[in-house]
Amino acid sequence: MSKVVLITGATSGMGKLTASYLASNGYVVYAGTRNKDNLESNIENINNIYIDVTKTDSIKNAVNTIIQKEGKIIKPDRMVVTPDKKVFLLDYKTGVANSKYIEQLNDYQNAIEEMGYIVVEKVIVYIGAKVEVHLL
């Protein structure tokens, strides 16, 4: 599985340095820019993409473009990462407990561990008439 990132503001300054670093380390980088003149890229693994983070439609279009090219996006609700690369995963759900949510959290764990992190705790918080917390 390719490691794919979207970095906004990646055509100059720290964003550009971060994009270059990640691209040189095997990530497929989408460098977000509001300036359509900056959409050309000649750096391997960097794809410039138009995105204006102040416009919802622009964000949706950019994300849909990336999904069409790269596949699904995995994004847990919350992650806490310690300096020694330990990760605590927290996901919020509405309604009742469901095994598909556990599978989803396991998918998050697999993707995170593939990047060299260690998932030490997984928590699902179900929010409904009452709040239930499930430690996995």
Q: What is the pTM of this model?
A: 0.54
Instruction: Tell me how crowded residue 11 is: count the other CB atoms within 10 A of its CB.
Output: 20
pLDDT over 70 (residue 68):
yes
Cα angle value 68/74/80 (rounded, 5°):
150
Predicted confidence at residue 14, as pLDDT, reads 85
Spans of all domains in the chain: 4-70, 78-135
Reference 52, options 20, 13, 9; nearest CA is 9
Quick one: average pLDDT of 30-40? 76
> CA 126, CA 133: separation in Å to the nearest integer?
6
Q: Mean pLDDT for the chain?
A: 83
Tokens of 71: 């596949």
